[in-house]
Structure 1
Amino acid sequence: MPRLAANFLSPLALCLLLASCSSIPMPSFLHDPSSEAVVYALGPRDGYTSPLSDSLKPACPALVFEHPDFQLTSAHQQALSRLAQEMAKNKKARLLVAGYTPPNLPPDHARSLSERRALAVRQRLIELGLEAASIQTVGFGNDFSPSGPASNVVVIYTQG
């Protein structure tokens, strides 16, 4: 029986099995370069300029959130109402709602919290009459450029 198991686990199968363990690096010949993590930034980062930086402009002042909340306050509601009134004039306008969190949070938690904040803002804008298809969200978490916005904010960008 052990001989059958040894024949069953070919070297390739063994590599795949071992590579599925998060603490063991995947062999270079099995590495998929398309699975690299994407770094989102709206400003300069490590000597590169984002192609988004020139075409996106803040649509309103940043919405500041109290840590670790993602609920909209009355101040947020008022700012979003004003923005929805302005955006109703331009039906072709597209928005990008970007959430950010402080650098001291674990990356997964930061990304999740920033996404929930961006989604809460998007939902409110939809309730105020904006087209859902014209509002995109992204949660940057704490992965943003040093020249980017302060943490614990949601910035609404318009393409301009």
Structure 2
Amino acid sequence: MMTALPASTLRLSAALGVSLLLTSCGTIPIPSVLGKSAPETVVYALGPREGYTSPLSTSLKPACPALVFDDGGFLLTDSHQEALSRVAKETLVANKKARLLIAGYTPPNLPADHARSLSERRALAVRQHLIGLGFEAANLQTVGFGNDFSPTGPSSDVVVIYQQ
């Protein structure tokens, strides 16, 4: 005669099974392609939209001086808002459909996950303000590099706006 297990025991067993399955995925070997192992490279995803150049490219030029943030902060200051107003006036007059890439960075002393999240929040705050100044949302792309960036990139608490 079988006895029914309480629902909490079943949920715990299922959760334990899923966690064991997920942790074992890290040890699954990745097969090589055509006898060659895949090179380890860092890939930055800039979103689904086409036509954006990576900020790792040296051909991109900043649209304005970098916006410097306080340690740990992501709210825009009055000086940030003034700089963004100048960017909007100069850029939108020249081209109503201007495309901008907004890249956030943090210094190397932060944990990687926190740095990536903070840099993305900063970039999104800048994007939201630019939308309020008249930019089309579809023409503004953000990326938060955190402290994982190219050797020639900024290594401090800044957001850089690149004109595409």
**Residue 127 of structure 1, CA deviation:** 0.5
- CA change 1:102–1:23 in 2 (3 A) is farther
Contact 2:103 2:123 (C-alpha < 8 Å) held by counterparts: yes
**Residue 17 of structure 1, CA deviation:** 8.0
Amino acid across the alignment from 1:141: G
**What SS class does the counterpart of residue 21 from structure 1 fall into?**
helix
**What SS class does the counterpart of residue 57 from structure 1 fall into?**
coil
Unaligned runs of 5+ residues in structure 2 are: 1-17, 33-37, 46-53
Deviations 1:31-60 (A, max 9, x none): xx7xx86247734xxxxxxxx332x21000
Q: TM-score, normalised by structure 1?
A: 0.72
Q: TM-score, normalised by structure 2?
A: 0.71
- CA change 1:149–1:24 in 2 (3 A) is closer
Sequence identity percentage? 64
Amino acid across the alignment from 1:74: D
Counterpart Cα distance in 2 of 1:117 and 1:98: 9
2:97 maps to 1:95: no
Deviations 1:112-151 (A, max 9, x none): 0000000000000000111111110000000112211231
**Superposition pairs for residues 7-156 of structure 1, below 5 Å?**
20-21=22-23, 24-29=26-31, 38-39=43-44, 42-43=55-56, 52-54=57-59, 56-89=60-93, 90-156=95-161
Counterpart Cα distance in 2 of 1:99 and 1:83: 17
Aligned residues between the structures: 131
